Structure 1
Amino acid sequence: MAARKSSPRKIRLIKKQKQTSPVPAWVILRTRRSVRTNPKRRAWRQTDVEVG
């Protein structure tokens, strides 16, 4: 990854970083544990992010 990133690329990387967060505890409580895991969860080292 280049040290100097363009702004659009940086925005896409930030979006991917937000998507990979776990489900908040209050959501698990509110849905009575029907929603436990984030289906978009991604391991940063194993999975390649296609952001261009």
Structure 2
Amino acid sequence: MGSIKSKGLKRRLLIESKTSEKVPTWVMLKTKMKVRTNPKRRHWRRNKLKL
């Protein structure tokens, strides 16, 4: 992907980067470690986005 991106594409990439974050520690503590992983987690090299 080139360095020149449209505003819409930047917005979509930002949203995708936010959904790929790990589960917050307070959520793990609140659920007594029942929720540990994020099922939507994505690695930048293994799973590519379909934008």
Q: Do both proteins adopt the same fold according to a TM-score greater than 0.5, normalized to the shorter chain?
A: yes
The TM-score normalised by the length of structure 2 is 0.94
Number of the residue aligned with 2:39: 39
DSSP 3-state at the match of 1:48: coil
Q: Show structure 2 runs of 5+ residues with no match.
A: none
d(CA) in 1 for partners of 2:44 and 2:26?
A: 25
Asked which structure has the greater RCO (Cα within 8 Å, sep 6+), the reply is 1
Deviations 1:13-48 (A, max 9, x none): 001100110001000000111111000001111111
Number of the residue aligned with 2:24: 24
Q: Show structure 1 runs of 5+ residues with no match.
A: none
Q: What is the root-mean-square deviation in Å for CA atoms of aligned residues?
A: 0.6
d(CA) in 1 for partners of 2:34 and 2:18?
A: 22
Number of the residue aligned with 1:3: 3
Runs of 4+ in 1 over 2 A off after TM superposition: none
d(CA) in 1 for partners of 2:46 and 2:31?
A: 30
